[in-house]
């Protein structure tokens, strides 16, 4: 969906495309094609990141149930930190590579990968191993480092996040796949799928200064990913989001996948031995009906390799 079509499409509730000064935009109607299967969430344990994704996406009906021939796909991993893969601060490059390969096999025209990084973006892209993996798989790395890539959106329904600048690839691509790494975070206890969306916006400082949990919980009202894949192969159990040493890393060797961004974060919290109700932004998003934190209501396929 091109940005002009995205703006034209949405004349019916809640969010304004401020940069275009045209009518009301409902991002909840902007998801591509939902992955079709009998499961709401799949949890895989015991394999390598690429193998676990193979099993997980097959359980959800295959990537072709989401990505159609000729479509454009944007993949948003966590590439925020200038550090190597074994430090578990960024999404595992093996996982990113495999997702791109699946999308290309489904006939995707273009598969873009980017992040608005915390450290210098060129070093993050290189030293995370993700840039190399993306190029090997036939994807395209794109910078998130310039404000000119971001377009202003305004909301009439959010409590705290009244406006936000979102990267143009999120507005223009047909399919949006969110691929965070699960880890400890000093401000929010964990970072997973919802918090990873801070890497598609320009002004993160506003979020930190204006009730971070509320902003994280509200943002999916602007744009929900079509698919979320949580990398929990190696996780920072403490000293997140960057980590201090390799001693901070544990290896659950797990992966979660779901189109429900609230449910996947609720499941991710449990890998930390915690409960969804203890993470404020999960409660907020659940109350806004963005998804459900009540995993007992979901059909979950648990796969052990």
For the chain, give every domain's residue range.
3-304
pLDDT of residue 37: 62
> Radius of gyration (Cα) for the chain, nearest Å?
18
pTM: 0.90
Structure tokens at 127: 């030293």
Angle at 39 between CA 35 and CA 45, to 5 degrees: 100
What CATH fold (topology level) applies to the domain 3-304? Rossmann fold (3.40.50)
Rounded CA-CA distance 237/250 in Å is 6
For position 21, what pLDDT does the model report?
28
Question: b/e string for 98-110 if b means 16 or more Cβ within 10 A?
Answer: bbbbbbbebebeb
Place of tokens 């990398």: 231
Q: Which residues, given as ranges, of the chain have pLDDT below 50? A: 1-13, 18-34
Q: Which of 80, 91, 94 is nearest to 242 (CA)?
A: 80
195-210 burial, b if ≥16 CB within 10 A, otherwise e?
bbbbbbbbeeebbeee
> Cβ contacts of residue 247 below 8 Å, gap of 6+?
none
């Amino acid at each position: 969906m091109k940005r002009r079509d995205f703006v034209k499409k949405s004349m019916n509730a809640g969010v304004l495309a401020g940069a275009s000064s045209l009518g009301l935009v409902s991002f909840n109607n902007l998801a591509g094609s939902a992955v079709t299967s009998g499961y709401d969430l799949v949890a895989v344990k015991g394999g390598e990141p690429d193998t676990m994704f193979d099993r997980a996406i097959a359980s959800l009906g295959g990537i072709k149930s989401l990505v159609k021939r000729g479509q454009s796909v944007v993949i948003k991993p966590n590439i925020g930190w200038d550090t190597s893969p074994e430090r578990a601060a960024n999404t595992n490059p093996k996982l990113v590579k495999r997702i791109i390969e699946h999308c290309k096999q489904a006939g995707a025209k273009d598969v873009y990968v980017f992040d608005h990084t915390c450290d210098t973006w060129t070093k993050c892209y290189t030293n995370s191993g993700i840039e190399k993996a993306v190029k090997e798989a036939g994807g395209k790395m794109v910078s998130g480092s310039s404000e000119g890539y971001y377009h202003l959106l305004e909301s009439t329904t959010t409590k705290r996040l009244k406006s936000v600048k979102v990267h143009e690839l999120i507005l223009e691509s047909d399919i949006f796949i969110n691929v965070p790494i699960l880890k400890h975070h000093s401000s929010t206890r964990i970072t997973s799928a919802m918090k990873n969306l801070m890497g598609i916006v320009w002004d993160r400082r506003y979020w930190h200064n204006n009730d971070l949990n509320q902003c994280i919980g509200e943002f999916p009202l602007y744009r929900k990913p079509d698919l979320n894949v949580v990398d929990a192969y190696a996780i920072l159990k403490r000293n997140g989001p960057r980590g201090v040493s390799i001693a901070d890393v544990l290896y659950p060797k797990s992966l979660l996948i779901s189109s429900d961004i609230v449910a996947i974060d609720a499941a991710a919290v449990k890998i930390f031995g915690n409960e969804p109700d203890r993470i404020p932004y999960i409660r907020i998003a659940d109350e806004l009906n963005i998804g459900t934190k009540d995993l007992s209501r979901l059909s979950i396929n648990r796969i052990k390799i």
